[in-house]
C-alpha cells in the first residue's frame, strides 16, 4: 500500500509540474541598444517615453518577417498616435548596423541593434516577429506573435498584438497575455 501511495504522489507531483504556467521572463532594463545612425538608446529611456512600448524582434532573412512588415507598419501607424512606442530589435549575431540601416530604409521602419543579444535572451525571444508589450515599469503586458496568420493565408486572423494593445490602452486586463509566434529562429548565439 505504501508503494501505491508513493507512486500516486509521484504521478500527482509530475502532473503539477507539467501543468505549471510558462516561466515569465525577467530582464534587465539596463540594456543599451544601438541606433543605425551610430547613437545609443538605453531601454530604460525608451520605456519611459510612452505608457506602453512594443519590442519586436527582427530577422532580415526571414520570409515570415517580410510577410509581417506591412502589419508592423500598420500597427505603428495605428498605435503610435495613441502614445505607444515601438522598438524593432535586431539581436542576431551576424547583423551589422550598416545592414540594419539598409533594411530599415527598405522596410520603412527603424531598427535598433541588440549587440550581444542580451535583450533577446532576457525576454526569451526565439523567433523573428516575437513581440513583447512593456509598460513604463518594464512589466510584461503581452508576449507572442502579431497574429495567427503566417503569411496572409487566412482572411480573418486573430490579431493577438493589436487586441492586447487595445485591452491595455483601455485599462482592461489583457485577455490573451501570451500567444504563438510565427517566424524564423533567431541566430543569437
Highest mean pLDDT pick, 19-23, 24-28, 47-51, 178-182: 47-51
> What pTM, to 2 d.p., does this model score?
0.83
Identify the bridge partners of residue 142 per DSSP, sorted by sequence position.
133
User: Could you tell me if 72 and 84 are in contact, meaning their C-beta atoms sit under 8 angstroms apart?
Assistant: no
Of 9-13, 38-42, 103-107, 163-167, which gets the smallest average pLDDT?
A: 9-13
Task: Give the relative orientation of helices 63-79 and 160-169 as an angle to the nearest 10 degrees.
Answer: 20
CA 74 to chain centre: 17
pLDDT in tens, 85-141: 999 999 999 999 999 999 999 999 999 999 989 999 999 999 999 999 999 988 999
Distance CA(182)–CA(130), nearest Å, equals: 8
Q: For residue 170, what pLDDT is reported?
A: 96
Q: For residue 109, what pLDDT is reported?
A: 96
Distance CA(76)–CA(69), nearest Å, equals: 11
Distance CA(130)–CA(90), nearest Å, equals: 11
Task: Give the cell for residue 49.
Answer: 517615453
Closest to 141 (Cα-Cα) out of 119, 159, 163: 163
Distance CA(18)–CA(63), nearest Å, equals: 33
User: Could you tell me if 33 and 151 are in contact, meaning their C-beta atoms sit under 8 angstroms apart?
Assistant: no
Return the CATH number of 28-169, one of 3.30.9.90, 3.60.15.10, 3.40.30.10, 3.40.1390.30.
Answer: 3.40.30.10
pLDDT in tens, 138-187: 899 999 998 876 555 555 678 899 999 999 999 999 999 999 888 899 99
pLDDT confidence band for 20 (50 / 70 / 90): very low
Amino acid at each position: 500500500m505504501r508503494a501505491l501511495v508513493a507512486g500516486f504522489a509521484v504521478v500527482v507531483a509530475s502532473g503539477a509540474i507539467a501543468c505549471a504556467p510558462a516561466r515569465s521572463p525577467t530582464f534587465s532594463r539596463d540594456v543599451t541598444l544601438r541606433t543605425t545612425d551610430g547613437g545609443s538608446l538605453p531601454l530604460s529611456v525608451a520605456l519611459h517615453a510612452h505608457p506602453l512600448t512594443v519590442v519586436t524582434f527582427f530577422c532580415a532573412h526571414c520570409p515570415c518577417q517580410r510577410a509581417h512588415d506591412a502589419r508592423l507598419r500598420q500597427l505603428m501607424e495605428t498605435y503610435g498616435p495613441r502614445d505607444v512606442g515601438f522598438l524593432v530589435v535586431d539581436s542576431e549575431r551576424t547583423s551589422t548596423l550598416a545592414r540594419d540601416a539598409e533594411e530599415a530604409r527598405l522596410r520603412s521602419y527603424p531598427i535598433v541593434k541588440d549587440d550581444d543579444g542580451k535583450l533577446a535572451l532576457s525576454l526569451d525571444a526565439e523567433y523573428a516577429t516575437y513581440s513583447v508589450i512593456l509598460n513604463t515599469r518594464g512589466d510584461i503586458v503581452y508576449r507572442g506573435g502579431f497574429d495567427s496568420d503566417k503569411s496572409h493565408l487566412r482572411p480573418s486572423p486573430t490579431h493577438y498584438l493589436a487586441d492586447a494593445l487595445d485591452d491595455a490602452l483601455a485599462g482592461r486586463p489583457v485577455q490573451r497575455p501570451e500567444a504563438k509566434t510565427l517566424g524564423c529562429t533567431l541566430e543569437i548565439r
